Amino acid sequence: MTTFSRVLITGIAGSGGSYLAEHIVNNYPDVNVSGISRWHSTTSSSNLDAIKDRLDMHECDLTDLSSVISTLKSVQPDAIFHIASHANVRASFTTPLSVLHNNIMGTAHLFEAVRLLGITPSILHCSTSEVYGKVDPRNVPITEECPINAASPYSVSKVTQDLLSYTYFLSYGMKIIRTRMFAYINPRRTDLFATSFALQVARIEAGLQKELLHGNLDSTRTLIDVRDAMTAYWIALEKCSPGEAYNIGGSTVITVGEFLETLKGLARCPIPSRVDQALLRPADITLQIPDTRKFLDQTDWKPKYTFEESVAFLLDHCREKVRHELACH
């Protein structure tokens, strides 16, 4: 038996939320899983095709407090995974006010709705390593005590969400746990460098594209599989302490350029590549190596998938997507 019986996932149709939903319904069949989606969302509902008959979907916009209250009244969740956000870092430089308003007010409305209704769910706020921003090399590996130094409008919004989470824990006793996820390999999110590269490799293999375009290749990341990341979220909500922040990430340290070379080595044909100035961020974070001992000590979580298995999973997904694209034409 699991600790929770009624789970609500914000952003359930997104790239991370859909994998989280799959993990829960496939491993905890007694848990009722509800999800929030927006009537005007551009997120593809196809992410949920395999499990949609096992979900209760609710039309709700987190920036509309009345719809949040209505949804929470209906679901009465004992657990909430708050994963919904505008999450494209580069796009946040183009539309900063939209990203700030969506991410900050959406989170504030969720917490206020919980408080006003007097319900007491355990809440996992799914944040990101982007909150650390520009990190002094002396602070690497990055612990949870690393100074916050936001480097994009997106990271400012995530820092604010993080602070709201702690404030609602401290002021109102709400059971909010903060996780700061480092980079993971996610086939359903095409704005991530790993997925963008793999999709372009698949398109070049299929003759749909001549060269691969990339941005900064010098940034250093640690990578885990999205399926391991979502398992970690579930374990965090079960075992971690409200009010605390936890880094979650992998142990495979690699530069963006090294990852590209790994994909080129798996490609079925030569992959020409060049830098595209439009893909360079006005400000970039280059050292994203976590110290995850706090999370590991409290949960005993271990990743299931190797780096090689995760890359193969990514490339297979992208090749299948290109095959579908070709079939539709």
pTM for this predicted structure:
0.94
Which of 16, 6, 7, 38 has the alpha carbon at shortest distance from 232? 16
Same domain, 124 and 177: yes
306 pLDDT higher than 80: yes
200 and 163 inside one domain? no
CB atoms within 10 A of CB 274: 8
Residues 165 and 284 in one domain: no
Q: Residue 303 and residue 295: Cα distance in Å, rounded?
A: 13
Let me know if residue 81 belongs to a domain.
yes
Q: Are 31 and 137 part of one and the same domain?
A: yes
Residues 83 and 14 in one domain: yes
- CA 28, CA 32: separation in Å to the nearest integer? 9
For residue 178, give its domain range.
Answer: 6-183+225-248
Task: Work out the average pLDDT over 181-206.
Answer: 95
Q: What pLDDT, on the 0 to 100 scale, is given for residue 134?
A: 87
With respect to residue 243, please indicate whether it lies within any of the assigned structural domains. yes
Residues 51 and 145 in one domain: yes
Quick one: 128 and 60 in the same domain? yes
Output 233 or 190, whichever has higher pLDDT: 233
| Residue 298 domain flag | no
pLDDT of residue 327: 86
Alpha carbon distances (Å) from 261 to 47, 65, 169, 194, 217: 28, 47, 44, 11, 10
The pLDDT assigned to 325 comes to 85
Distance CA(183)–CA(250), nearest Å, equals: 8
Residue 1 lies in a domain: no
Identify whether the C-beta of residue 36 lies closer than 8 Å to the C-beta of residue 9.
yes
Please give the tally of structural domains in the chain: 2
41 and 189 assigned to the same domain: no
Say if residue 191 is in the same domain as residue 61: no
- Same domain flag for 178 and 189: no
pLDDT score for 42: 47
pLDDT in tens, 26-71: 999 999 999 997 655 444 568 999 999 999 999 999 999 999 999 9
Cis peptide before 141 (omega within 30 of 0): yes
Q: Are residues 208 and 275 in the same domain?
A: yes
Task: Please count the CA atoms within 13 angstroms of the CA of 139 that sit on its side-chain side.
Answer: 16
Residue 1 has pLDDT above 80, yes or no: no
Whether 270 maps to a domain, the answer reads: yes
- Mean pLDDT score of the chain: 93
Alpha helices in 245-291 (DSSP H): 256-266
Write the CATH number for 138: 3.40.50.720
Residue 285: per-residue pLDDT: 60
**Inside any domain, residue 149:** yes
Q: What is the pLDDT of residue 308?
A: 95
Number of H helices, E strands in the chain: 10, 13
- Whether the pLDDT of residue 280 is over 80: the answer is no
The residue count of the chain comes to 329
Rg over alpha carbons for the chain, rounded to the nearest Å, is 19
CATH of residue 269's domain is 3.90.25.10
Tell me the DSSP string of 152-214: SHHHHHHHHHHHHHHHHHHHH---EEEEEE--EE-TT-TTSHHHHHHHHHHHHHTTS-SSEEE
**Mean pLDDT in residue range 201-227:** 94
Does residue 293 lie within any of the structural domains? no
**Per-residue pLDDT tens digits for 78-95:** 999 999 999 988 889 999
> What average pLDDT score do residues 144-170 get?
96
Amino acid at 78: D
Domain assignment present for residue 294? The answer is no
* 194 and 136 assigned to the same domain: no
Contacts of 31 (CB under 8 A, 6+ apart): 2, 4, 5, 6, 7, 24, 25
- What are the pLDDT digits (tens) for 217-228? 988 899 999 999
